[in-house]
Amino acid sequence: MSIPTLTFFNNKGGVGKTTLVYHLSWMFAELGLTVLVVDCDPQANLTTAFQDDETLLSLWEPAPDATPATIFQAIKPLMEVSDISPVHIQQIAPRLHLIAGDLGLSAFEDHLSEQWGKALSEDSVKRAMLVLSAFWRVAQTAGARLCAQLIIFDVGPNLGAINRSALISSDYVLVPLAADLFSLQGLRNLGPALEKWRNGWKERLKRMGDIATPLPAGHAKPIGYVALQHQERLSRPVQAYVAWLERIPNEYRRQLLGEKRRLRSFPSIEDDENCLALLRHYKSLIPLAQEARKPIFKLRAADGAIGSHATAVARAYKDFDTLAHRILERIGIPVPASL
């Protein structure tokens, strides 16, 4: 049985996706789960959040014949005639682990695009499917070594071939949103893309025939969304924020769940079962967390979290704890009873 995989994805950037992945991966580990995070964004922002510059240099410029230290180094042999290589796993905390991202990953994009088409040809389908499933196979192999209970993919904000392969490697998809036009447009792009990718993967699996290597099912099931609360900006009055926020529940249903009929009345975002959280920005804590290289809910007085900051830290812990429990409930992973 494969390890459950969860991807955080929105076609729109700037919605706090990587920050959300970073904090929730810490919180899942805090709850007692063994978690493996895989950075499939060629910008590698999640990896830079976890690691200091010295470590990053050792990952991105490894010694000759060293064990692959990033997701790209592990799948790079597929660009020739070989297969994936075992990858070094970075331990971030006792139950939190990382397969590092790599700026070189963008070089794999064209190869994935080419193999997507070749997977429909009887002569090349098996080789193509090995390439297209590379992220999933690297993650599952590494996760098995850890006895991981959850694998999380972080991806960039686009609809390219890298993200397609990451999404068909995913059992579940969570959508981070901001209350603005661009985020809603991202939903309108994301919904049809997910449906197209799922159907395309099913078609390719049917053509597969017998193969000894396990492949992902490609479910990419949406489990809900997380909306960021309003951040004061002179160019975005509160009224505009509220207006966009009210459109999210119906738009999510139509684009991600396929409910084509527009409802005359639909729940407010606070009552929407698909809304997993309406999350605060905690913008005053972010600089402290970045300096301490830890999630905001683990900040202490020694990190500068005193007075009102300390109160915000406690509130952040409660918010992320509640959200983590809701996500685990949606994907059917129990929280260890001992913690």
Asked if residues 23 and 326 have their Cβ atoms less than 8 Å apart, the reply is: no
> What is the rounded CA–CA span in Å between residue 44 and residue 100?
8
The set of residues, in sequence order, having a beta carbon less than 8 Å from that of 274 and lying 6+ positions away, is 224, 225, 249, 252, 253, 257
Which is nearest to 130 in space by CA: 79, 206, 72, 179? 79
According to DSSP, the residues that pair with 96 across neighbouring strands are 35, 93
The set of residues, in sequence order, having a beta carbon less than 8 Å from that of 231 and lying 6+ positions away, is 281, 283
Q: Which CATH class is domain 5-279?
A: alpha beta
> What is the rounded CA–CA span in Å between residue 90 and residue 52?
12
> What is the rounded CA–CA span in Å between residue 294 and residue 292?
6
> What is the rounded CA–CA span in Å between residue 178 and residue 231?
10
> What is the rounded CA–CA span in Å between residue 279 and residue 309?
17
Tokens of residue 262, six digits: 């527009």
What DSSP element (H or E) covers 331? helix 308-331
The set of residues, in sequence order, having a beta carbon less than 8 Å from that of 96 and lying 6+ positions away, is 25, 26, 28, 29, 35, 37
The pLDDT value recorded for residue 234 is 43
Q: Provide the 3-class DSSP secondary structure of residue 92.
A: strand
Rounded to two decimals, the pTM is 0.93
The pLDDT value recorded for residue 273 is 94
Q: Per residue of the chain (339 residues), give pLDDT as tens.
A: 899 999 999 887 777 889 999 999 999 999 999 999 999 999 999 999 999 999 999 999 988 888 999 999 999 999 988 899 999 999 999 999 999 999 999 999 999 999 999 999 888 898 999 999 999 999 999 999 999 999 999 999 999 999 999 999 999 999 999 877 787 888 889 999 999 999 999 999 988 876 678 999 999 999 999 998 755 544 455 666 777 788 889 989 999 998 876 555 667 888 899 999 999 888 889 889 989 999 999 999 999 989 999 999 999 999 999 999 999 999 999 998 765
The pLDDT value recorded for residue 235 is 47
The pLDDT value recorded for residue 208 is 80
Domain ranges of the chain: 5-279
Tokens of residue 132, six digits: 């297209």
Tokens of residue 311, six digits: 């109160």
3-state secondary structure 96-120: EEEEECCHHHHHHHHHHHHHHHHCC
Which is nearest to 190 in space by CA: 337, 22, 314, 8? 8
> What is the rounded CA–CA span in Å between residue 95 and residue 73?
24
Asked if residues 278 and 229 have their Cβ atoms less than 8 Å apart, the reply is: yes
